[in-house]
Structure 1
Amino acid sequence: MIVRTLEEAEQSNRRVVSNGWESTRLLLKSDAMGFSFHITTIFAGADLDMHYQNHLESVYCISGEGEIKDLADGKVYPIKPGTIYALNNHDKHKLLATTEMKMACVFNPPLHGKEVHNAQGAYELDAEAVQ
């Protein structure tokens, strides 16, 4: 059984801070669950181009507001508490945060722990693992 608190994880190397966001990775590949689970904060005003070429992701909005734009067809979807979106086709997208947004995120395959977006807005498959 794995038991962790968000508060403890935020004070450890499971917290990753990058440009426009921070993510606390509660479950990682080393936990052998087959997915990773993160609580991610998208900072107000963030404008993030992402394209997870190596991972599928689902995102549930806990708090805050913004929008996601599908860069393939230009459709824009509002994001607010209670909204989930799933990038089931490695969708190239833009995430805009109107206010600070708190998100619960699941990745498959699971992340190792130290990933940040590369030049294409993706996470690499063989990133450094959290110890």
Structure 2
Amino acid sequence: MPLFLPRRPTLRQTTSLSTYYLLDYKTRQAELGMDYGPPSTQLNKAKFVFQGGAWQGDGESPNKALKKANKALLEENNYLKLQLELLMDMLTETTARLHSVEKKLDMTSWHPKIKKPSKVLMLRS
């Protein structure tokens, strides 16, 4: 029997040394899945992203959308003004025709302060 029996040492557990500590902060965030990106939200089928200290629409800027809506409203306003002018012209024309017809029929019916000529005066003339 041998006097000296060396024991076999227990196996060391392998540790994975990560190289992530060598990377800069932003790369580490991206590699480890901690990069959430800029905050975003969706309002009525429009997606907005917070970038550069302001909310910006995804695809087109909010200013463009507002300018587009403003242009549409101005066009509608011009159309309504044109319709109003046309209606006022029609009303003026109709009123003028009414005045001329009433003047032809009976001048005094339109102006109640004017007295009708009496029959006596008509006979003397």
Q: TM-score range by the shorter chain?
A: under 0.3
Structure with a larger share of its residues in helix: 2
Structure index of larger Rg: 2
Structure with a larger share of its residues in strand: 1
Higher relative contact order (CA 8 A, sep 6+): 1
